[in-house]
């Protein structure tokens, strides 16, 4: 599926979510798929779909632990980029800060 073809995006998203619900250890896979969808929606300027996809993914963020949390940080960052493209700069900063906090906690940096 290329970035211009989102006819199957909903079914891919539902499949990834189902995998996460059946096996929470696959959280990294789920979040990486979501990240791809968000980036694709941004490319096509489908910002509402990008935000909805990201918010849905974050419902499962608490199930992702350890080093896989980096993928949650990537989703927060992608949502921040979406907000930036929409001109919602305060929301963008909030999401990017959340991404940075996760990264700091993983890499033990101040």
Domains contained in the chain, CATH given:
9-107 (1.25.40.10)
pLDDT tens per residue across span 71-99: 888 889 989 999 999 999 999 999 999 99
74 alpha carbon, distance to own chain's centre: 6
Which residue in 65, 81, 78, 82 sits closest to 28, CA to CA? Answer: 65
Phi/psi-derived region of residue 15, left when phi > 0, alpha when psi is between -120 and 50, beta in every other case: alpha
pLDDT tens per residue across span 13-58: 667 667 667 766 666 667 766 777 787 777 878 888 888 888 888 8
Which residue in 77, 94, 93, 90 sits closest to 42, CA to CA? Answer: 77
Read off the pTM: 0.74
- The whole-number pLDDT of residue 1 equals 39
- The whole-number pLDDT of residue 59 equals 81
């Amino acid at each position: 599926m290329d970035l211009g073809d989102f006819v199957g995006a909903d079914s891919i998203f539902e499949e990834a979510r189902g995998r996460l619900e059946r096996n929470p250890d696959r959280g990294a896979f789920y979040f990486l798929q979501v990240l791809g969808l968000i980036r694709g929606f941004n490319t096509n300027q489908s910002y509402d779909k990008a935000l909805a996809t990201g918010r849905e993914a974050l419902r499962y963020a608490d199930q992702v632990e350890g080093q896989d949390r980096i993928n949650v940080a990537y989703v927060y960052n992608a949502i921040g980029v979406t907000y930036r493209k929409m001109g919602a700069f305060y929301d963008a900063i909030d999401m990017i800060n959340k991404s940075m906090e996760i990264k700091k906690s993983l890499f033990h940096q101040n």
